Chains A and B, each alone.
Chain A
Amino acid sequence: MDRRAFLARSLGLGCSLAASPLVTPVTFAATPGEGRLIVLILRGGMDGLGALPAYGDPEFASLRGALPLGEAVEDYADLDGFFAMHPALRPVLPWWQEGHLAFVQAVSTPYRDKRSHFDGQDILEAGIADLSAGLSRDGWLNRLLQHLPDTGTETAYAVGNDPLSILSGDAPVARWSPDTDLALSPQAIRLAELVMQEDPAMSAALREAFSLAGSDGDALSFDGARGDMMAMVRQDMMASLRNQNHVKLAEFVAKRLRGDARIASFSLNGWDTHQAQDRGLGRALTGLAETLVTLRDTLGGPVWKTTAVVAMTEFGRTVRLNGTRGTDHGTGGAMLLAGGALRGGQVFGDWPGLSEVALYDRRDLLPTRDLRAHAGWLMQGLFGIDRGLIEREVFPGLDLGEDPRLLA
């Protein structure tokens, strides 16, 4: 076969989905219902009291200063006369009225005292009570997946270039980072397929990569000059290092959830606000708001209706500001919930108060409930799985307690 003949008979770029063994028709047929769960991991420890200030608490002003409440863009939005919302979250404020946005206050994992990101995130993603038995090797979303009926290889997506141990485990999970963006010349694509042919496993993975890369917004095939292509790859690499690709991740996730996927997780970084937190927290919350808006816009109405997004973090931060106008690692924090499936427009959770005696260790918000309980009730409602199963398998040993009725 000479080069001309090869090019002449090549089939072009469209990698037929049906031809890929990783994307079998069975996968397409198999979906565990219509509920969708997106778990956002906020790495670094979100300051719950900064995102959702309890301005109605008598101690609040002495701890954090007076809050500018109002209607302007730079103002905090009053939610219920007690809690306000950070101005950076204003883009999702209308959702509060619709009942598509909610918060849970004063929650945490069972992690206490050491206040290490590393261990805290490990416990958060493992969904276990402590690390005395060593670091975990599987995550709670994977354990959930193992007990969902009719799952396929694309039911759950771990997205981004983060290991996301929340989805690690025995159940198959699709992993993709849209910033792996492939930008190849059309011919390189054909030649890559050609040389991979002799290895079915690699060939299948490559074909799925091509179809995924082509579906995430920008085209796989790159016709521009070589130098432009290099620049694009460089840009993608740098973006992936800086983690500024949250909109891209959200778009990708939403597209998957419009199809067969039902569970997805990705991380947002930048929450470790030890200093000048006005700026840092605002930036991180802006990213979160953009992520949520992108998810909703891309999912579209009907799918949004069956979706719940939960944003959780490894721990809250100190209730007092520190000497550099930031906050240090704390304990109790807040969780954000969004989605059309929610019974939103309210702040869930028991408020422990901010007086000195009410604090944990006299410095942190006291957690009044395990955040796994809320995650558990969400899963129970979205996927109709048995409470006992969640308490035994997904969060071993957890008592889910009373149903907070998070879903509409």
Chain B
Amino acid sequence: MRFDPILADMRFGCGLSPDIAPPESVDAMLRGLAQPDAMADAFPIERFDTFLGRMQRRVELSQIRRKNRGTELAATARKDSKLLNKAARQDALGWMAAHIARRVKSTTPLRERLEFFWADHFTATGKRGVIRRATSPYMESAIRPNLNGRFEDLLIAAVTHPVMVHYLDQQTSVGPNSVMAQRRPGKVGMNENLAREVLELHTLGVDGPYTQTDVRELAELLTGLTINFNTGRQFRKPMAEPGAETVLGKSYGGDNPGLRDIEAVLRDLARHPATARHMAGKLAVHFVSDTPEPALVDALEAAWRDSDGDLPLVYAALLNHPAAWETTRPNVKQPFDFVTSACRALAVSPERLLSRDPRALNLWLYAPLRLMGHVWQKPEGPDGLQEADSAWITPQGMAARVQWAMTVPGPLRKGLPDPRDFVETALGPRANDTIRFAAAAAETRQDGIGVVLISPAFQRM
């Protein structure tokens, strides 16, 4: 198999669109990634440095509450704090709509898919307080600008990002012999949470050549990495474990600990052969099949090793490999890909979507995604969404997709297309006579659109 524009849109893009032509070539897809990010401009999502303002305000309000207990001032601050949380919750739904709008309108949809792939690889979310709504700003700031560069820069941006540092409890991890531990003996200490996930999930993989000692040493090296509510990422020396640490046989840091030591170990981990192997497998599974051709994985691994993780070259190796265009074992779309590719095929108006009130977005998108098994931006764990198709082809998952496909497209756009036309728009050459028949036999437009969207030809990529 070779490059096929239709499959390119379905498998490496956001599905077919009635308005936007599929890519002409692999080169065009890769060139698109290097072009200015038109979708980020058209459908903006708050960046994390702006979001920090919300976190600062929240801290100020709780200080006011603490200092003025029982007074009118505290009551007002409490109310303001609630409003602040509510605004963030509603804005986060708006950012979900913006992610969808980008997928509907993008002429470089591979960028959207890569952003979600890497955001899932570097799963992070807020656990308490207003930072719970910071996932999209984290993606916008740490993931999206770095998805077409070197993996090591993406790794550093994600792992040292305040949302990740918070999610994996790094900000409270204090070196056992640090200045702070000596000042408050027994009160502070270290945890291995981020260190373990960096090795196990973000770089080498669970089968990688690391030991418990490496986890411990990396955890010690990571101490000092914390969050500053004014500036974001911060390194606080008093928290840092003094002295050098040895990770995978190499010594990092010394008497003057700093962020550069953490960056150094992350760069080495990014280029490690085990990381190349781990990531090659993960990319092939995510984009092509649960059981990818071994030759494809080998090719990705080689491209990664030869380039020290230069992502555009790895993407090129993926898209230029014949096995990437095999159609015998295609993946099932994850819920967000399913819903957004339906929106793209339906040419849902972004303006209409973005002007919807939070209640409607909740009802038509957030709640159905949850029923499909994807709790939006509330991951079950740091390993993110499941890759196996079997995780999504469940009775509940299928039921939620069917109900969504048969009911929600109506409210999402003004007037539905004729199902007989929609078969061709949504499926192109994948349309077959059974689906054509079903679309035409439906009693209502809603049902007709629904049967097209739930057809395996649409649900698989």
Neighbour of A187 across the interface among B200, B394, B447, CB < 8 A: B447
Chain B residues with CB under 8 A of A133: 192, 196
Interface string of A189-219 (1 = CB under 8 A from B): 0011011111101100110111011000000
CB-CB nearest in chain B for A275: B78
Neighbour of B370 across the interface among A119, A161, A233, CB < 8 A: A161
Neighbour of B456 across the interface among A6, A184, A195, A213, CB < 8 A: A195
Chain B residues with CB under 8 A of A135: 193, 381-382
Decide: A163 near B380, CB < 8 A? Known: A183-B403, A233-B407, A241-B362: yes
Chain B residues with CB under 8 A of A240: 367, 370-371
State the total of A-B contacts with C-beta under 8 angstroms. 159
Nearest chain A CB to B451's CB is how many angstroms away? 5
CB-CB nearest in chain A for B378: A163
Q: Are A198 and B403 in contact (CB under 8 A)?
A: no
* Interface residues of A, count at CB 8 A: 60
Chain B residues with CB under 8 A of A181: 403
Nearest chain A CB to B234's CB is how many angstroms away? 21
CB-CB nearest in chain A for B410: A230
Residue B435 at the chain A interface, CB threshold 8 Å = yes
Q: Are A209 and B396 in contact (CB under 8 A)?
A: yes
Nearest chain A CB to B85's CB is how many angstroms away? 14
Residue A131 at the chain B interface, CB threshold 8 Å = yes
Q: How far is the CA of A148 from the CA of B154 in the complex (A)?
A: 44
Nearest chain A CB to B186's CB is how many angstroms away? 12
CB-CB nearest in chain B for A7: B441
Q: How far is the CA of A233 from the CA of B406 in the complex (A)?
A: 11
Q: How far is the CA of A319 from the CA of B368 in the complex (A)?
A: 40
Neighbour of A195 across the interface among B192, B390, B393, B454, CB < 8 A: B454
Interface string of A104-121 (1 = CB under 8 A from B): 000000000000111100
Residue B250 at the chain A interface, CB threshold 8 Å = no
Chain B residues with CB under 8 A of A241: 362-363, 366-367
Residue B397 at the chain A interface, CB threshold 8 Å = yes
Interface string of B194-207 (1 = CB under 8 A from A): 00110010000000
Chain B residues with CB under 8 A of A3: 437, 440-441
CB-CB nearest in chain B for A229: B407
Q: Are B441 and A6 in contact (CB under 8 A)?
A: yes
Q: How far is the CA of A1 from the CA of B441 in the complex (A)?
A: 11
Neighbour of B402 across the interface among A6, A134, A182, A212, CB < 8 A: A182
Residue A62 at the chain B interface, CB threshold 8 Å = no
Q: Are A134 and B375 in contact (CB under 8 A)?
A: no
Chain A residues with CB under 8 A of B224: none
Q: Are B446 and A209 in contact (CB under 8 A)?
A: no
Residue B450 at the chain A interface, CB threshold 8 Å = yes
Q: Are B197 and A134 in contact (CB under 8 A)?
A: yes
Chain A residues with CB under 8 A of B455: 195-196
Q: Are A195 and B363 in contact (CB under 8 A)?
A: no
Interface string of B388-416 (1 = CB under 8 A from A): 01100111111110110011001000000
Chain B residues with CB under 8 A of A174: 395
Q: How far is the CA of A180 from the CA of B441 in the complex (A)?
A: 25
Chain B residues with CB under 8 A of A392: none
Neighbour of B396 across the interface among A6, A175, A183, A226, CB < 8 A: A175
Residue A27 at the chain B interface, CB threshold 8 Å = no
Chain B residues with CB under 8 A of A208: 395
Q: How far is the CA of A360 from the CA of B205 in the complex (A)?
A: 40
Q: Are A212 and B395 in contact (CB under 8 A)?
A: yes
Residue B184 at the chain A interface, CB threshold 8 Å = no
Neighbour of A137 across the interface among B371, B383, B394, B407, CB < 8 A: B383
Nearest chain A CB to B356's CB is how many angstroms away? 14
Q: Are A185 and B362 in contact (CB under 8 A)?
A: no
Neighbour of A191 across the interface among B70, B395, B451, B459, CB < 8 A: B451
Chain A residues with CB under 8 A of B70: 323
Residue A331 at the chain B interface, CB threshold 8 Å = no
Q: How far is the CA of A195 from the CA of B419 in the complex (A)?
A: 14
Q: Are B451 and A177 in contact (CB under 8 A)?
A: no
Q: Are A176 and B395 in contact (CB under 8 A)?
A: yes
CB-CB nearest in chain A for B74: A323
Task: Name the interface residues of B332-366: CB closer than 8 Å to any CB of A.
Answer: 332, 362-363, 366
Residue A22 at the chain B interface, CB threshold 8 Å = yes
Chain B residues with CB under 8 A of A226: 444, 446
Decide: A118 near B127, CB < 8 A? Known: A137-B383, A182-B403, A199-B456: yes
Nearest chain B CB to A367's CB is how many angstroms away? 21
**B contacts with A: majority SS:** helix
Nearest chain A CB to B82's CB is how many angstroms away? 12
CB-CB nearest in chain B for A133: B196
Q: How far is the CA of A270 from the CA of B398 in the complex (A)?
A: 29
Task: Name the interface residues of B116-146: CB closer than 8 Å to any CB of A.
Answer: 127-128
Q: How far is the CA of A341 from the CA of B368 in the complex (A)?
A: 38
Q: How far is the CA of A116 from the CA of B129 in the complex (A)?
A: 11
Q: Are B456 and A132 in contact (CB under 8 A)?
A: no
Q: Are A205 and B398 in contact (CB under 8 A)?
A: yes
Residue A26 at the chain B interface, CB threshold 8 Å = no
Interface string of B424-442 (1 = CB under 8 A from A): 0000000010110110111
Decide: A180 near B380, CB < 8 A? Known: A191-B447, A234-B363: no
Residue B178 at the chain A interface, CB threshold 8 Å = no
CB-CB nearest in chain B for A165: B380
Residue B443 at the chain A interface, CB threshold 8 Å = yes
Neighbour of B394 across the interface among A199, A205, A229, A230, CB < 8 A: A205
Q: Are B383 and A180 in contact (CB under 8 A)?
A: no
CB-CB nearest in chain B for A210: B399
CB-CB nearest in chain B for A131: B193
Q: How far is the CA of A210 from the CA of B400 in the complex (A)?
A: 11
Task: Name which of A165, A185, A210, A229 has the most chain B CB atoms within 10 A of its CB.
Answer: A185
Neighbour of A180 across the interface among B168, B399, B437, CB < 8 A: B399
Nearest chain B CB to A211's CB is how many angstroms away? 8
Q: Are A180 and B400 in contact (CB under 8 A)?
A: yes
Q: Are B403 and A202 in contact (CB under 8 A)?
A: no
Q: How far is the CA of A6 from the CA of B397 in the complex (A)?
A: 27
Residue A237 at the chain B interface, CB threshold 8 Å = yes
Neighbour of B450 across the interface among A168, A175, A188, CB < 8 A: A188
Q: Are B437 and A1 in contact (CB under 8 A)?
A: yes
Q: How far is the CA of A195 from the CA of B200 in the complex (A)?
A: 41
Nearest chain B CB to A248's CB is how many angstroms away? 14
Chain B residues with CB under 8 A of A408: none
Q: Are B200 and A134 in contact (CB under 8 A)?
A: yes
Knowing that A6-B441, A175-B395, A192-B454 are A-B contacts, what are 11 other residue pairs whose CB atoms are under 8 Å apart, sorted by A's residue number?
A118-B128, A134-B200, A187-B443, A194-B451, A196-B456, A199-B460, A206-B395, A209-B402, A230-B410, A237-B367, A241-B366
Closest 5 CB pairs of A and B: A199-B456, A209-B399, A209-B395, A208-B395, A205-B398
What are 12 A-to-B residue pairs whose CB atoms are below 8 Å? A1-B437, A132-B193, A134-B196, A174-B395, A194-B451, A202-B398, A205-B393, A206-B399, A209-B395, A210-B399, A213-B399, A226-B444
Residues of A within 8 A of B (CB): 1, 3, 6-7, 22, 116-119, 131-137, 161, 163, 165, 168, 174-177, 179-185, 187-188, 191-192, 194-199, 201-202, 205-206, 208-210, 212-213, 226, 229-230, 233-234, 237-238, 240-241, 323
Residues of B within 8 A of A (CB): 69-70, 127-128, 168-169, 191-193, 196-197, 200, 332, 362-363, 366-368, 370-371, 373, 375, 380-383, 389-390, 393-400, 402-403, 406-407, 410, 432, 434-435, 437-438, 440-444, 446-447, 450-451, 454-456, 459-460
